[in-house]
Structure 1
């Protein structure tokens, strides 16, 4: 394997990977004919679960927080955002832990270019007001010269998804565009092509609007999101023919860096039928990300460690994605570059993002076969059956593109997963089901500096790691009752249902 701990800089990984002379996304060695590993007993779910301990999980969490602190000189606080020392050392840690497990796994790296953005300052003035809900879109370019720009506000026709929606007199002015139908990036690009100096996309309801422009375009202009509540009075003035002047200011930067996914696959097990699961190795820039998604990454490490005590009938592939917080970059790259025959070998993908939120709920993605590739619903029901067998409550949450399962579903691979909640508000009913406090976020430290070791709930993390172990053991032993793979089934239906690509709204 390529052990990252042996590499001085993460930027050198691409060169090392090229020397391996193998397709990215594929194992580094041929899989042996035998499907079981040595004389070890066949995987057993109860035995595998019994090896999981909360003490070991928290030892790993303490180590991970120490790695995040290595970014303090660069960022002023602990973080594991891509491009940081904390993330580089996270990758080293994961690789070295897999390396310690000997020849049970073969592992490889998958370097890729990742776009990341930072916003340093911003301000939007509409007429005489400074709307509190104004929020720069992720990956927005700065205003010209990183200075304030001034121009009248122009209401764009319809939802701003066609060039004809943008008035001819938009040059040197600020486009005011309604959310809907097409992506935020497309609206910003069309506004730029029409000559706008900035764009404001307002929500179709009273709520605030925070999203991403996605893949950078040379035509993108500095773009804000705005709540429908703040937009309402402005729309009335514009429709009445009143002039609304505006000032827009964004100081930001959008850069492309190199980072890498890490993949580890069992040497044993049928390579034509692979159980795949993943978590993301990065955090946001604002904090160390011990729950999001240190908890998922470390859960995978713990399960991978104890799996070595058993043999498997189907291969098991673990993935640690980079760039999830920037918009699912690593998982997108992985699936997009998979040859079709390799795609077909993945029988299902399981996503584990945020396993121990402090104000947790046991959440199961509501993946159905009606909208998703066949097998997604059976995976969902496996989680439900396990919670019920333990006498635990659970709740369904939307399968809406907010984590790394997204690329798999779009490319015909059945998927699902569990979570414990992010910035959503716990209901009174959920307080009765899971404890905690109604009216608060599931994770009050979501994407903040306080997402440290103390931010992970021990009970939820242990329970869910045991469930992850069960999910691996179930399918590593048999796919007999699981549907056969189909080709790209339901991808279009799924895409129609999703509004997110990672944590960002995209349209």
Structure 2
């Protein structure tokens, strides 16, 4: 991690004013100024968070996404793009302008990014309607269509013995389950397949990611169980199904950056940490996903400077979330045990203004997560109840940046307003909106722009930040990085299925 001097200190150094007094006096004066401020309180911080400011930030973020127009032909803030570089600059400069209240650092790390330009799958004489190319898939050979018979793989395609001898030169049809999609793709490649098709083992289409690239990966699709069944029956009956696959894609390594800002005031051994991701998918500008998290953290950090805190507050803007939680994974992997234990809890904020919203709270329970996660969950629900708002619990299943924290002993939780999940009739009674539609109909699409935000739904995170910045009284103390965890591995590691 590269430590950077605050903006105020750099400006003073350039003008020579810092040279007029000893550095320790400057630090002492700065700390005295912070300590002279009123102590943080939930109500006082909430009163300073204004919808108008968030609206203006959303406009600024969309302008930044438009920096990618020349390269992508549409606005995007995907890692490696001008839009994401501009987002990182915007975050850093916004915090730097707040003066000497925060210590700012950046953390550059290698990340994998992928882009799929075109794809097509033809099985026999039909195009499966559910067919989708998996994220981080390599292209077909020479980025051209490849042709071969469809071959049914035994079991779930996780072992070499599952692949018949005639897999070489074929398109492998593999059942979802047991192992990760990337493992299935690599096993198919090792067996000589020219492409792989993974079919779902439950209702619905199958959109997943291959994860970390492997030289053995082949072009890989996902299809629904419903689409797969007719082919399975024909193959079991001995029929030959000549097929073709085509994917034009790129998978590459880029350098990208996390931004961390920590209050200089407060107990530096006991920190409340909160984060959101700064990147979008390649397909769109990501103003809800997760521009809303990015902007909320910036606004809370901006208003927090008006107060003194008893415990340090650490803000994080992660890069590479859409590629599989790369930034948060890297950050936690670099923590020593001593630094890990300083983080008392982590709060994740991803998609806070979905148009067809529901107020969602991660169902973080202590029996399968680090102790303290459930207390954070209850803090959110008690706030909703106090203000007469309905809420629902959603799975705490590895879909966002809390995952690395809870896997390394740090209590975690968060709130959201919904992604591609379908709103129920019961939820319409609770929140209004439209049953049978996604919570965010523009999730991971070009239309996730300023018009996609429901400002009335945009409840904020000031209460939880202020509560723990003031006191951890009653919150479980951390003594170890060991964690009680669900032994079954998560189906997600980021927004897409991994197995």
TM-score of the two chains, using structure 2 as the length reference:
0.93
CA drift at 1:87: 0.9
Asked if 2 retains the 8 angstrom alpha-carbon contact of 1:208 and 1:226, the reply is yes
Look up the match of 2:209.
Answer: 212
Instruction: Go from structure 1 to structure 2 and tell me whether the alpha carbon gap of 1:281 and 1:364 turns closer, same or farther (over 3 Å shift).
Output: same
User: Which shifted more, 330-339 or 412-421?
Assistant: 330-339
Q: Does 1:506 align with 2:495?
A: no
Q: Does 1:308 align with 2:305?
A: yes
CA drift at 1:205: 2.1
SS of the residue 1:37 aligns to: helix
Quick one: which of 472, 475, 494 aligns to 1:479? 472
What pairs up with 1:322-337 in 2 under 5 angstroms?
322-337=319-334
CA drift at 1:185: 0.3
Quick one: which of 63, 78, 81 aligns to 2:78? 81
Look up the match of 1:168.
Answer: 165
What pairs up with 1:93-104 in 2 under 5 angstroms?
93-104=90-101
SS of the residue 1:445 aligns to: coil
Look up the match of 2:245.
Answer: 248
CA drift at 1:505: 0.3
Instruction: Go from structure 1 to structure 2 and tell me whether the alpha carbon gap of 1:410 and 1:208 turns closer, same or farther (over 3 Å shift).
Output: same
What pairs up with 1:323-402 in 2 under 5 angstroms?
323-402=320-399
Asked if 2 retains the 8 angstrom alpha-carbon contact of 1:4 and 1:95, the reply is no
Tell me the distance in 1 between the aligned counterparts of 2:28 and 2:363. Answer: 35
Q: How many pairs were matched up?
A: 479
Instruction: Go from structure 1 to structure 2 and tell me whether the alpha carbon gap of 1:298 and 1:490 turns closer, same or farther (over 3 Å shift).
Output: same
Q: CA RMSD in A?
A: 2.0
- Deviation by residue 1:387-443 (Cα, 9 ceiling, x = unmatched): 111011111111111111111111111100000001111111111111111121111
Unaligned stretches of 5+ residues in structure 1: 6-29
Unaligned stretches of 5+ residues in structure 2: 8-26
SS of the residue 2:193 aligns to: coil
CA drift at 1:37: 3.0
Quick one: which of 262, 265, 286 aligns to 1:265? 262
Look up the match of 1:40.
Answer: 37
Q: Does 1:292 align with 2:292?
A: no
- Deviation by residue 1:67-87 (Cα, 9 ceiling, x = unmatched): 111111111111111111111
What pairs up with 1:193-232 in 2 under 5 angstroms?
193-232=190-229
Asked if 2 retains the 8 angstrom alpha-carbon contact of 1:367 and 1:399, the reply is yes
- Deviation by residue 1:167-187 (Cα, 9 ceiling, x = unmatched): 233111121110001000001
What pairs up with 1:40-189 in 2 under 5 angstroms?
40-189=37-186
SS of the residue 1:501 aligns to: coil
TM-score of the two chains, using structure 1 as the length reference:
0.91
SS of the residue 1:292 aligns to: coil
- Deviation by residue 1:272-319 (Cα, 9 ceiling, x = unmatched): 111000001111111111111111111001100111111111110000
- Deviation by residue 1:154-207 (Cα, 9 ceiling, x = unmatched): 111111111221223311112111000100000111111111111111111231
Tell me the distance in 2 between the aligned counterparts of 1:265 and 1:52. Answer: 19
